[in-house]
Amino acid sequence: MSDRFDCKNCHESLYGRKYIQVEDNPHCIPCYDHLYANTCQECKEIITHNSKMTLEENDHKHFRLSSVAGSKMLEYSGSTWHEDCFVCHGCEKPIGAEAFIPAENNYYCVPCYEGRLAPRCSHCNKALTKGGVTYRDEVWHKECFVCTGCKTTLAGQPFTSEGENPYCVKCFSSLYAKKCAGCNTAALKCVFDLQALTKGGVTYRDEVWHKECFVCTGCKTTLAGQPFTSEGENPYCVKCFSSLYAKKCAGCNTAITGFGDGKYISFEERQWHQPCFKCSRCSVSLVGSGFFPDRDQILCTDCNNDD
């Protein structure tokens, strides 16, 4: 007598019948479908034993079904469907063999997604389904996002804006950047540093200068970071200004520049550094005291009374 070959679940003989092995245990087809078959996500009915198809991502970031001939079950992201139940949420056409896009907890064929849900390019108003640029809370195709001036694409390139219009660095500098008063080229070191428009430069009399262009009118030494003064519209270093324009102290005969000299005193046609304003005879300080002019001299009260 031969050994029995029965279904693990119902114990009916499997001789001459189809069966499915599960963990080395044979099951008749009805028992297998009852115990192990999947439920359709759409119609909630059992999906009987058959080959299945798996949904997978393609190169265009849409999704599609891998092809298995004669298949009746589709599987994607942990859920299963009858092949005819997996339909577009928009047009309700089966999309098992087509590219589709998951969105808003549903699935759409590409035409329905583009027509209903895809964001629109701010320039051409066509659907934007992959890639793109976000600018001022709007989206653009990469090829549509261009410089307002020269129309060069800005995707992946540095750019800035004037009002609501984007510009490449070259066009923005040419059209809107302040020009150096010395060389008349753009004074911007970096167009994105809008808080410091002349980064690395100098502002003088409401004009901007490159650091290397802002020099003494006399000796041409750079004045950036150095004390300087002016005569009319022209800036001068302390040395040149003292030599060309500063008045001389009647006491020490050196220039009165206002740089490090403190206050100075002026009387008639003469000026003194404050420390130099003292009696010509006894050298007592006359600052804040009465004094008496005596030809080229200035005298304190006591020395004047001695006369």
Q: Give the pLDDT confidence score for residue 191 in this predicted structure.
A: 37
Q: Which amino acid is at 7?
A: C
The number of angstroms, rounded, from the C-alpha of 137 to the middle of its chain's C-alpha atoms is: 14
Q: Give the pLDDT confidence score for residue 150 in this predicted structure.
A: 93
Half-sphere exposure of 277 (CA within 13 A, CB side): 21
- pLDDT tens for the chain, 307 residues: list them: 457 888 888 988 888 888 888 888 888 888 877 787 778 888 887 776 654 444 444 443 344 443 333 446 777 777 778 878 888 888 888 877 677 778 777 888 888 887 777 788 888 888 877 778 888 888 888 889 999 999 999 888 888 888 888 999 888 877 877 778 888 766 554 333 333 334 557 888 888 888 888 899 999 998 888 888 888 888 988 888 887 887 888 888 887 776 655 677 888 878 888 888 899 889 898 888 888 888 888 888 888 887 6
The pTM of the full predicted model, rounded to 2 decimals, is 0.38
